[in-house]
């Protein structure tokens, strides 16, 4: 199964108030394994970069001034995305900016049904815990020591590793064949209880022989102080 893990950097928090996409990084995974294929691009937002946003990702007006416009790279981006599910952390944010840019370029937005949100997965898996990318990487032992500032491609690469862990680890993609087993009550008992084989003996006779009965009678006759005789005398 082909999936695309992606991340974006922007000038702010809301595309509806004029904020723009300035970077996108995409990583291809197939059957939960990274293929090494990626898409990465910076964009000129045609507006100034707020200081608070630059403090997060380090992308300045000067750096972005000679970068291409989103519209000029949209076809290449869409070609890379194909029809694969799109995985992002707090995905509604990234989808909002991506679709705003596509709409501004006169292109169809990406269907929200393709969205896979790792933030929602993490909240379900670890209720009450911290769910930032940094916190989750620490939880799953993913090395993020080289993450000084946010960067779309780097964050997408980290998120790809995190997504694999959140969805069961790499063994989920090994493609092992699983046979269907009908669990009848007899099958459950047989599978859960291992009984050692029992060797049955031949049945032994329990009825006394004539000779044994005669010997028993002679023994009884020889008793002189039997308890039952005392009871009989007392009555």
Does pLDDT of 30 surpass 50?
yes
Q: What are phi and psi of 223, to 5 degrees?
A: -80, 135
213 in a domain, yes or no? Answer: no
Taking CB atoms within 8 Å and a gap of at least 24, the contacts of 147-150 are 149/56, 149/57, 149/58, 150/9, 150/56, 150/57, 150/58
Asked if residue 220 belongs to a domain, the reply is: no
Q: What are the tokens at 39?
A: 């898409």
Provide the annotated binding site for substrate. 7, 9, 52, 57, 155
Q: How confident is the model at residue 173 (pLDDT cuts 50, 70, 90)?
A: very low
Can you read off the two tokens belonging to residue 193?
A: 């209880």
For residue 232, the SS3 value is helix
CA atoms within 13 A on the CB side of 23: 24
**Catalytic choice (89, 126, 131, 150):** 150
Within-domain flag for 186: no
Average pLDDT over residues 170-175: 50
Q: Which residues are annotated as a binding site?
A: 7, 9, 52, 57, 155
Does 194 map to a domain? no
Interval 57-70 mean pLDDT: 97
DSSP characters over 143-154: --TT-SS--HHH
**For residue 219, is it within any domain?**
no
Q: Is residue 191 part of a domain?
A: no
What pLDDT score was predicted for residue 199?
Answer: 61
The overall longest dimension of the chain from CA atoms, in Å, is 128
Structural domains in the chain (count): 1
What local confidence, expressed as pLDDT, does residue 169 receive?
A: 79
Helix residue ranges, H only, the chain: 51-57, 61-64, 70-81, 91-104, 118-125, 133-139, 152-166, 185-192, 210-221, 227-234
pLDDT in tens, 83-95: 999 999 999 999 9
Is residue 112 within 8 A of residue 143, CB to CB? The reply is no
215 domain-assigned? no
User: Higher model confidence: residue 175 or residue 77?
Assistant: 77
| Cβ neighbours for 173, distance < 8 A, ≥ 6 positions apart | 31, 32, 33
- pLDDT-derived band at 110 (thresholds 50, 70, 90) equals very high
Asked whether 147 and 154 are in contact (CB, 8 A), the reply is: yes
Any domain includes 187: no
Q: Residue 163 maps to which CATH number?
A: 3.30.420.10
Give binding residues for a divalent metal cation as ranges.
Answer: 7, 9, 155
Q: Is the pLDDT of residue 176 over 50?
A: no
**Catalytic residue at 150?**
yes
State the chain's mean pLDDT as an integer.
85
Q: Mean pLDDT, to the nearest integer, of 149-163?
A: 93
The C-alpha atoms of residue 190 and residue 63 are separated, in whole angstroms, by 69
Domain that holds residue 147: 2-173
Model confidence pLDDT, tens digit, residues 179-233: 333 333 343 334 334 444 556 666 666 677 788 888 877 887 777 766 666 655 5
Q: What is the mean pLDDT of residues 106-118?
A: 97
Give me the helix-helix angle, 70-81 and 91-104, nearest 10°: 120
> DSSP letter at 131?
-
Q: What is the DSSP letter of 17?
A: G
pTM attached to this predicted model: 0.71
């Amino acid at each position: 199964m082909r999936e695309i893990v992606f991340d974006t950097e922007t000038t702010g928090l809301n595309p509806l108030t004029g904020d723009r996409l300035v970077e996108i990084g995409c990583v291809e995974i197939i059957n939960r394994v990274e293929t090494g294929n990626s898409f990465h691009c910076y964009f000129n937002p045609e507006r100034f970069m707020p200081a608070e946003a630059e403090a997060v990702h380090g992308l300045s007006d000067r750096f972005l001034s000679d970068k291409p416009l989103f519209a000029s790279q949209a076809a290449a981006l869409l070609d890379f995305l194909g029809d694969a599910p799109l995985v992002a952390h707090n995905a509604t944010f990234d989808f909002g900016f991506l679709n705003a840019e596509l709409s501004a370029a006169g292109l169809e937005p990406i269907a929200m049904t393709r969205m896979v949100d790792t933030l929602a997965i993490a909240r379900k898996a670890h209720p009450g815990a911290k769910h930032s990318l940094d916190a989750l990487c620490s939880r799953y032992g993913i090395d993020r020591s080289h993450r000084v500032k946010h960067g779309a491609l780097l964050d997408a690469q980290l998120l790809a590793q995190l997504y694999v862990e959140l969805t069961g680890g790499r063994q989920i993609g090994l493609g092992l064949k699983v046979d269907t087993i009908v669990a009848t009550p007899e099958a459950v008992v047989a599978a859960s209880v291992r009984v050692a084989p029992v060797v049955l003996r031949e049945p032994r006779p329990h009825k006394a022989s004539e000779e044994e009965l005669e010997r028993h009678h002679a023994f009884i006759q020889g008793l002189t102080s039997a308890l039952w005789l005392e009871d009989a005398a007392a009555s």
